[in-house]
Structures are given as C-alpha cells and as structure tokens.
Copies of this chain bind each other. A is one copy, B any other.
C-alpha cells in the first residue's frame, strides 16, 4: 500500500514518477533455517528445495520456465474449408520491453506453414529488368546485410473493435496481431541494382512459395527505399512461421505485404491485382467505394497492462504500461488518461525509441477504488495523433475493419475488474 506523498499529473489518479511504491514486506514470520548471509529480525525463510540440490546443466536450445508456459500465442482450431489459414496472437499482456521473442511473434497464414528445404528454394527477380536473375539461399547469405528493429502489424489487428462488443477481450485477443523484432537481411535495392530495373517498371509483384501463392504489389519507390529481404530475426534464421528461408520486409506497412517464403519478385508497369489486394486488405467506405491500397499502418498505441480479464487486487499504485508505434516514423510522445480522455498526462518512454518500432511507455496510477477508464494516445515524429474511434467511424464507417488504429479504452470498475469499453 502506498504511504508516500506523490504529485498528481492528470485526473483520476495519474501521478508523477516521484513516489515510493513501498510494497516490500517487513517482519514476515520466521519459518526455519536462516538465509545465506544471516537473518535480520523477521526475515527468515526455509531454504527452498531448488537451493539444496544441483539442477540440470545447460541445453542446446533454451526453453521458458514451466511456470510461464501459459504465456503462449492463441490460435484458432484447424479449419477444413481453409486449411492452414488463420493467425496466432502475441500475449501482449504478459510481455515487456519492445522486442517480441521469435517464438511469440504473431503470425498470419493463408495456407499454413510450408516446410521449405532451403537447398531447393529459389528467389527469382524478373519482369521489367535488364537481366532476370535467380538466387539460392547460400548465394544470398554472401551479401552485405543490414539490421533494423521494426514492428510488424496485421492490417486486420484491432479490427473487431470497430464493430463493437468484445467486453471480455484481452490485449492479446483484441490487439495481438502486432509484434516487433530486429530484422536482418539484404536491402532489396542491392538485388534490383544487379538485375537492372527498366525505367518503365513502376511496381513489383512479390510472391511467396506457400500453397496460397500469397502475392502483393509494392510501388517501386518504396521497394528501393527501405525494403529488405529478411533472412534473420532477432539474430537467428527466421522461423518457418515467419517465412523461412526468407521473407520480404516492408517497414511500417501492413503486415500482409511483407510476403513470407518469398520466391519471386517481378517488376511490372501496374499493380498485379492479386487476390489479397482486391478481395481482401482493401478498405471499403460508407458509400461502398474502396481504397484499394492503404499501405502505412497508422499512429497507434495500446495499454497492455492493465488488460481485459485482469483484476486489480486493491486500491493502490499500479504501473500503466503499453506499446506505441507508427508506420510513418518514430514515436515522439504517448499520453495516458484515467478519466476516459478528459485529462491526459505524458507517459515515460522506457527503452528503445526507434523509427517504425514498438516503443514502451509507462506511467504510475493511484487507483482509488472507484471506476476509471484508461486510454493511451500516441503522437509520432511527424506530428500524427492517434484518432478516436468516433473519428474513424465518421471517416470510414465499419464496413471494412482494416487499419483500425483508434484509441482503445479499458474500463476499471469498483471491483477492480478490467474490460474493454467504448466511450
């Protein structure tokens, strides 16, 4: 329980970082043996079993504790009419920092995960080029690589929130289609230089080697700006679910365009009109007209703790923390409100603050036991401000639910129960 003075920085309990949490216990009853360095009055525990006997030695590939193995991605059951289709969502409410571990990075598959033998995989660059080229995996490993920390977000992330409902949702179930990693690979521009792009080439068509032949079109200006052929993720080869042996990585843009299991790049005059840029991933508006292409992901943030399905034990100080990102730049600032958007205070950025990467924010909140609505609002380096849900509904409606980057609200009731709410 807090017993110190602290300064209020916004309504309904948001406080400054100058405080002592002071929940370390004093005077716990003695049990048995003393601690290693001798006991103080009242601090005296039995030496636990794991301190009495040596444990097993090192392993070749480490694994999480059995006590945290419930921190897993959620994913749908197999579906006979859409084999291998579906997604897995990152357990955002259990994660910290900016980096997502590879095994918990979200995934979206359109025909499951191909088991590719890299020695039988090729990357073809053809179409409007001076010289069509074929690369194998070993060839590509010889090129100069760059490493960048980037978020990846599915265009459909948070989509259901535009329709309403989802009172029982968690950060994972509502927003778990976003993650962040250090991606390492070859600048696409280096390979295009070798093939020699012809002046009439304005787009490229990227195709994956999965059974869906997932394909997407990318404007040539973006392709030569910052797109990479990613071979490594957080240091190790990309996992099969992320596109092993290689994927396209298109920084800041909707996840679907970062084609996994990349096998072909064809330079073209026009967009290829792939299935996944006509029947899907296009934004239909109120009047039934559509934006075919909405590439950059919006300026966005969400509070990951507290999250829906959590309960606050008792009134006191809690750290409100979450992640923010923008497909157009870095995060300049994140504001948090505890009164449903009436007043706001700046959260602290507590870690990496990089271009097109998840940025961790945190602010202490003194919950008084009453009702509250927690929100976060991101501002990026271009000055873009995360919009309200009402603003997005007014602009686009909810026929399409792609590209929802609105402010999200967690309600806390007087029992401390946290749930998704619309305000």
Q: List A residues at the B interface (Cβ < 8 Å).
A: 17, 20-26, 28, 35-43, 45, 48, 50-69, 71-76, 78, 83-88, 94-105, 107, 109, 111-118, 120-122, 124-127, 131-136, 139, 142-149, 181-184, 190-191, 193-195, 205, 207, 209-213, 215, 231-232, 234-237, 239-242, 244-245, 263-264, 266, 272, 317-319, 321, 348, 350-352, 360, 362, 364
Q: How far is the CA of A263 from the CA of B112 in the complex (A)?
A: 44
CB <8 Å contact, A57 and B73: no
Cα distance, A350 to B146, chains bound together (Å): 5
A236 CB contacts on chain B under 8 angstroms: 64, 68, 71, 94-95, 101, 104
Chain B residues whose CB sits within 8 angstroms of the CB of A66 once the complex forms: 115
Number of copies: 2
**Once the chains are docked, how many angstroms separate the CA of A80 from the CA of B366?**
53
- Report if A114-B73 is in contact (Cβ < 8 Å); known contacts: A100-B235, A232-B96, A264-B35: no
Contact B95 A36 (CB under 8 A): no
A63 to B238 alpha-carbon distance, docked (Å): 10
Most buried by B among A45, A54, A321, A350: A54
- Min CB distance A201 to B, Å, is 14
A388 to chain B, nearest CB (A): 28
Asked whether, in the complex, the Cβ of B63 is within 8 Å of the Cβ of A147, the reply is: no
Residue ID in chain B nearest A239 by CB atoms = B62
- Chain B contacts of A76 at CB under 8 A? 57-58
- Using known A-B contacts A24-B195, A144-B319, determine if residue A84 contacts B99 with beta carbons closer than 8 Å: no
A-B CB contact pairs (8 Å), 23 listed = A24-B134, A39-B126, A41-B132, A50-B114, A50-B210, A52-B211, A53-B211, A54-B211, A56-B84, A57-B112, A58-B73, A59-B88, A60-B74, A62-B73, A62-B102, A62-B240, A62-B242, A65-B116, A67-B245, A68-B236, A97-B183, A98-B182, A144-B362
